[in-house]
Amino acid sequence: MIRLILLGPPGAGKGTQAARLATELGIPHISTGVILRDAARAGTELGRKAKEIMDCGHLVGDDVMLGIIRERLAEDDCGRGFILDGFPRTIPQAEALDGLLDEAETPPLAVANLELDEDELRQRIAGRRGEDQRSDDSEETMLNRFHVYQKQTEPLLDYYRDRVSAIDGRGTVDTVFERLTSLLASTEERA
């Protein structure tokens, strides 16, 4: 069974790879960004608040995010494994996730960090600006998201140091996908 956390800076390609892995493996792709953007589109109270926060590049509060993840992981389809994309994003989120998974006595998580340098990230986000129309991809919000990433999310690499694998995020979608699938194959062999 595969339970994977995909880490990496904004623009590294987590969403693309997570969606593809999920299809390939037949397990759910849980993207907190997608969940929040769906809520924003639906115009729920959570969605309206989240949109304001996302549009300035800040993080939605840990308590709110935990509520969302707790509910999502309790759904039946997660019994076969899952890919987390965008969660955890802070140390308290990671600690809470450990608690959630401990309770359920599940095997350890695999953690992959998609690496890409700042220049390449900028280019990708600039490219995405035309296609996805995400209101948080503006130049200013993007800078904020990057700073928030460095300050709040990068410390997770140390938190997960005993199990995180670096994945080179350069190259085509196929190339990166190959790297991830071979990592997962070797993780499964060791399990």
Chain positions contacting ligand ADP, by CB under 6 A:
10, 14, 32-33, 36, 53-54, 57-60, 65, 86-87, 89, 93, 136, 145
Amino acid of residue 63? D
128 is catalytic: yes
122 is catalytic: no
Instruction: In whole angstroms, give the CA distance from residue 59 to residue 50.
Output: 9
Q: Considering beta carbons, is residue 38 or 188 the nearer one to ligand ADP? A: 38
Tokens 């969403």 found at: 15
Amino acid of residue 132? D
Which of the residues 122, 124, 128, 170 is marked catalytic? 128
Q: Considering beta carbons, is residue 19 or 166 the nearer one to ligand ADP? A: 19
Q: How far is the CB of 55 from ligand ADP (least distance, A)?
A: 8
3 is catalytic: no
| Whether the bond into 88 is cis, omega within 30 of 0 | yes
Neighbouring C-beta atoms of residue 173, cutoff 10 Å: 11
Q: State residue 79 phi and psi, 5-degree precision.
A: -60, -20
72 is catalytic: no
Q: Considering beta carbons, is residue 29 or 89 the nearer one to ligand ADP? A: 89
Catalytic machinery residues = 14, 89, 128, 134, 145
